[in-house]
Amino acid sequence: MPFLLGIDVSTTASKALLLSDSGEVVASQAAEHEINAPRPLWSEQEPSMWWEAVQTSVAGVMRKAGVGAEAVVGIGLTGQMHGLVLLDKSGQSIRPAILWDDQRSARECNDIREMIGLDALVRETGNDAFPGFTLPKLMWVRNNEPGNYARIAHVLLPKDYIRYRLTGAFGTDKAGAGGTLMLGLASRGWSDLICDSFEVDKNWLPQSYEGPDVTGVLRDDVADQLGLRAGIPVVAGGGDQAAQAVGVGAVHPGVVALTLGTSGVVFAGTDQPLTAPNGAAHAFPHAVPGRWHMMGVMLSAAGSLRWYHDTFRQGTSYDELLTGTDTVVPGCQGLSFLPYLSGERTPHADPNVRGAFVGLTHVHDAAHVTRAVLEGVAFGLRDNLDLLTNSGLPRPDVVRVSGGGARSDVWLQIIADVMDVPLAKVASTEGAAVGAAMLAGIGAAVWPSIDAAVSACVRLEGEVHPDAGNVSAYGEPLARFRSLYHALAPTFRVGAD
């Protein structure tokens, strides 16, 4: 039986899983990462840590599965998008990688808009300039660390650093490349306009490939380290959200996916390059050849609940944390939570906005406060669904939901009620790594097409339907939530510099 190895270099861990040709996840293993925040709103990781974690997770998954090295026929990569990895001419990391949730480059985003114009930027790349994207980070290094900038020979994304360590080749997928702000949306290739305008040497940028394309093969010495056979094809894969979409079957226009992970993502595939007005929603190539996608991204979704747990309820299990939240009335009796703990991407492109609890009174207990966090995230997801539909995409009949937060039935019911749309739970909880393995299966000819891979691997396990009474009850709390951003944003900007 052939097996596909999916590797996901996420923010919090590197995961490896083995997927059979019948779509079964045979085993998975993860090794955690540490995140360094040397200054407020900064977020960095050492690339060498990812490689150590990948080695640990791959070795672990092979032991768990108990299969021989010869059984693995393809490797697919996915991982956190937008991060800036800089290597010198010897392939050594120049500085810690600047991650997707780092917000230091707001000034560079303004410079990008002023230099090229917002309309031209969106027309070329599909996107406005956000601090999370790679180009503003690269400009920040140029402006603030000229010595490091002078040493650059290669600019990579996090998963593509792992590709380099596995194969010795420099490559990336087109979906991930779209999140750099240096790729032409329609052309699906590196943009001469962007690179010339901002003096980016195109020799620094890796070749871009479609998701199932083979980008190299596993090196002999690395195969020995990992307990695999040399020469296994390594495919391009996809940025985490595009790979996640493959893993849940959101590969055709009209199929909408919601990922409730550290960040929250509402994802819709398209058969042509579409953009939102002023680039308010992200538009990238899909990991599926010849397709694109639009998505709304909130930076702190399940990450908000984790922050709340770790800060105020540490030592309490998540099941205990959520106890009683299902009995709190929608709207939490006037209590609102703004989930902007890391600034925000969409629909508010605002690195300075902050999280907040608003409306606390003596009537509120722990269950109210916990539910307010769940509702605040749900309101942010509704904002992003509305952003996509207001950009011309049809409102979905059902949304496929996955991610760690999707394990909570209480939270899913809140989201279904707030979004007023049924949620279909995806059976696999392994997320983007499954999509990466599926893409590897296409590249290794295990499946002849993306549709065949989806048919073999994707299973749904029931739906959560909106409660009509709760849908009505959330009208006023949703309006209140939306008003609070505009009311409080000016106060958050005071002292932001």
Rg, C-alpha atoms of the chain: 22
Residues 1, 20 contacting (CB under 8 angstroms): yes
Query: Looking up tokens 């996916």, which residue turns up?
Result: 257
Calpha distance 139→199 (Å, rounded)? 10
Residues whose CB falls within 8 Å of the CB of residue 392, separated by 6 or more in sequence, listed in order: 274
Q: φ and ψ at 297, to 5 degrees?
A: -130, 120
Catalytic residues: 240
Cα(460)–Cα(427) distance, integer angstroms: 5
Q: Which of 221, 217, 216, 204 is nearest to 89 (CA)?
A: 204
CA distance 486 to 418: 20
Q: For tokens 């996640």, name the residue.
A: 244
With a CB cutoff of 8 Å and minimum separation 6, the contacts of 432 are 6, 8, 10, 78, 79, 238, 240, 241, 243, 244, 247
Residue 370 exposure: Cα atoms within 13 Å on the Cβ side? 22
Dihedral-angle region of residue 75 (phi above 0 means left; psi in -120 to 50 means alpha; beta otherwise)? beta
Other CB atoms within 10 A of residue 53 CB = 23
Give the number of C-alpha atoms closer than 13 A to the C-alpha of residue 10, restricted to the C-beta side: 25
Quote the DSSP letter at residue 57: H
Neighbours of 231 (CB within 10 A): 10
Kindly write down the DSSP assignment for every residue of 390-414, as one continuous string.
HTTPPPPS-EEEESGGGG-HHHHHH
Both tokens assigned to 390 = 């207001």
**What 3-state DSSP class applies to 256?**
strand
Q: Which strands, in side-by-side order, build the sheet including 214-217? A: 25-32, 13-20, 3-9, 72-79, 233-239, 214-217
Task: Return the SS3 of 121.
Answer: helix
Q: Give the tokens for residue 223.
A: 């195969």
Q: What is the DSSP letter of 36?
A: B
Conformational region of residue 355, where left means phi above 0, alpha means psi within -120 to 50, and beta covers everything else? beta
Q: Residue 122 and residue 129: Cα distance in Å, rounded? A: 9
CA distances from 104 to 77, 110, 491 (A): 27, 12, 19
Integer distance in angstroms from the first to the last C-alpha of the chain? 57
